[in-house]
Chain A
Amino acid sequence: MLTLLFDGIAYGMLLFVLAVGLAVTLGLMNFVNLAHGAFAMLGGYVCVMMMTRLGVPFLAALPAAFISAAVVGVVLERTLYQRLYKSSHLDQVLFSIGLVFMSIAIATYFFGASQQPMALPPYLRGQVHFLGLDFGVYRIFLIVVVAALTVALQYIIEKTRFGSQVRASVDNATAAAGLGINVNRVFALTFALGSGLAGLGGGLGIDVLGLDPTFPLKYMVYFLLVVSVGGTGTIKGPLVAALILGVFDVAGKYYLPQIGGFVIYALMVVLLILFPAGLYGRRT
């Protein structure tokens, strides 16, 4: 039971890293980006390829996953995404579905349709015995990494100059630009940060979620879920939502395997109906 809760929390933490970037684009910049999972997939593939082809250690491959996803993110943002900030949601949906399809096709072309194998380094495998319970080492690693990231993010958004520029640009882009903030640059950097975190999450998640070309579609719902349930404007909202989803998903699959993913979808519909603006919605 406690082990299950622990696994759920680790899973939720992972979802949080994957989805927090989407919380920014979708929640703050109001862009329906269904292609967010594609950045996570990119990070995952970079991570796997560096480890298996180049023999780079896991811990060194993770930053590479972050950087490559962030770079691709900023390039796409400058060339394509920024043209659609003012478009209708339908256009954004279609555009990002197009990106998802392309990313799936590209991944299949280069890496094949099968699951990518990945071997964790020995020090992250196995179990730790503590208070009569078994905890997976990798799960602990996940929780620690994500907790550190969350604190760092909170600090960046709340305390740094860049963070206040982000908040200002999101609240009122025109006024922010009038005060001399380079809104375009702020959005590009934010987008890069979000995509990078997704890439990092993709790398971290290979062992838990698996990695194959359908990744962006398979987990799209989870990302959207975290953001729309968590609401926007805070770091706390998506984190709480991700933890709830993680625990419910793991518990649902353990206790009620015959109905599988049903629990999570039902939960999502119910939560969306009860809290149309998210658990911590800004707009009330």
Chain B
Amino acid sequence: MTAPATRVGASEAATTVGRLPDGRWSALEIAFWVIPVACFFLLPNYRVLGSQVLITALFAVSLDLILGYAGIVSLGHAAFFGIGAYTAGLLAVHGWHEPLSGLAAAAVVAGIAGYAVSFLVVRGGDLTRLMVTLGIGLMLWEAANKAHSITGGVDGLSGVTIDPILGLFRFDIGGRTAYLYALVVVFVVFVVIRRVVNSPFGLSLRGVREGGKRMPAIGAPVPRRLRTIFTFAAAVAGIAGALLAQTTQFVGIDTLGFPRSAELMIMLVMGGTGRLYGGLVGAAIFMIAQDYLSGIDPVYWQFWIGFFLIVIVLFAHGGILGGLDALRARLRGRKP
């Protein structure tokens, strides 16, 4: 965890392998987190959108944990987002209006669901995982759709009222409280995730991703590692879902839908997988572009998102951050 890793030669920096993770915050990371704070003051009219971006960013990071770090392809990650959203929403509808305990409850419920699912997911290869996650997501969607009396079905769950946070900060129409609440929660959870990813446990996950067959040889229990991270990621997704339910005071059935899982994957890949900030950047760009373009025409939006996805897969591996890294490595290589 200490010094030797901080000085890395240019050649090693070009490949991400050579660097051991350390717990330090680089100047760039700190600068990155100043942006959302600055947005709060500079763009007061965009706070509602801003809080949604933050929530989606957290959700994207949770997918990055299993996709980017553990290498599990999931097409049903929205299931846990939806479980969290419905947990928080239903608690609030039925008389439990305290927000922070609502978040915790959502995390626990989504985590338990994730733990149960993880046993199915860890078995089998890529294709089976893909199908199982997809199937579970669709099953939950059907369940929420049919259980109209509980979830409100396609009409969504409305009437979610939330008490002021800590009894002090009331949710207002301009999204002031919602934005700050989302920012603080997202940041705190992010710090935890960052710690997990940089721990020996996080390293062993990368080991599994790079060579699943070799890890057992050095004594790492692969299925257990995967189950742990899957559960953790599900809990984080649950927190993101609960945040959305609490800040918008509404739970739509689309929180569970396949399009949400697919879009999430797109954001993450656009930003760059396996680097935490990729999810944040991707979600921000995706949401802002969506807000801009789908205002013009939703059909165009879908066309272009599909187009960019194909372009990224074919030509721009590593997404936006991957591209920046390559650029930086190149620049550094040029001046010795």
Contact = CB atoms under 8 A, between A and B. Distances in A.
Contacts, number: 117
A80 B311 CA distance: 10
B128 A276 contact: yes
A272 interface: yes
B132 interface: yes
Contact of B127 (A89, A103, A261): A89
Interface stretch (A3-11, A133-141, A142-150, A262-270): A262-270
B313 A95 contact: yes
Contacts of B128: 228, 272, 276
A276 B314 contact: no
A101 B127 contact: no
B180 interface: no
A32 interface: yes
A108 interface: yes
Interface in A237-262: 258-262
A104 B314 contact: no
Query: Which residue, A103, A106, A225, A268, has most C-beta atoms of chain B within 10 A?
Result: A268
Contacts of A188: none
B139 A262 contact: yes
A100 B126 CA distance: 20
Interface stretch (B35-43, B93-101, B280-288, B299-307): B299-307
Contact of B302 (A80, A101, A221, A273): A101
Contacts of B269: 94
Nearest to B313: A95
B130 A32 contact: yes
A253 to B, nearest CB: 12
Contacts of B75: 93
A109 interface: yes
B67 interface: yes
Interface string B62-89: 0000010000010100000000000000
A214 B180 CA distance: 38
A267 B167 CA distance: 47
Interface size class of B (residues with CB under 8 A): 35 or more
B124 A272 contact: yes
Interface in A67-119: 80, 83-84, 87, 89-91, 93-95, 97-106, 108-109
Contacts of B126: 32, 89
Contacts of B266: 94, 97
A221 B130 contact: no
Contacts of B331: none
A181 interface: no
- By secondary structure, the B interface counts as helix
A94 B265 contact: yes
Contacts of A29: none
Nearest to B312: A94
B120 A99 contact: no
Nearest to A266: B139
Given A260-B142, A262-B139, A97 B132 contact: no
Contacts of A23: none
A106 B303 contact: yes
A188 to B, nearest CB: 18
Nearest to A90: B73
Given A80-B314, A89-B126, A94-B266, A259 B142 contact: yes
A93 B73 contact: yes
Residue among A80, A98, A106, A261 with the highest chain B CB neighbour number at 10 A: A98
B302 A104 contact: yes
Given A84-B313, A101-B302, A102-B306, A272 B135 contact: yes
Interface string B133-151: 0111011001101100000
B146 A99 contact: no
A89 B209 CA distance: 13
Contacts of A109: 299, 303
Nearest to B131: A228
Contacts of B73: 89-90, 93
5 contacts: A93-B265, A94-B313, A221-B138, A260-B146, A265-B138
Given A98-B307, A260-B145, A272-B132, 9 more contacts: A90-B73, A94-B269, A103-B306, A109-B303, A265-B139, A266-B139, A269-B120, A269-B136, A276-B123
Interface of A: 26, 32, 80, 83-84, 87, 89-91, 93-95, 97-106, 108-109, 217, 221, 224-225, 228, 258-262, 265-266, 268-269, 272-273, 276
Interface of B: 67, 73, 75, 120, 123-128, 130-132, 134-136, 138-139, 142-143, 145-146, 258-259, 262, 265-266, 269, 299-300, 302-303, 305-310, 312-314
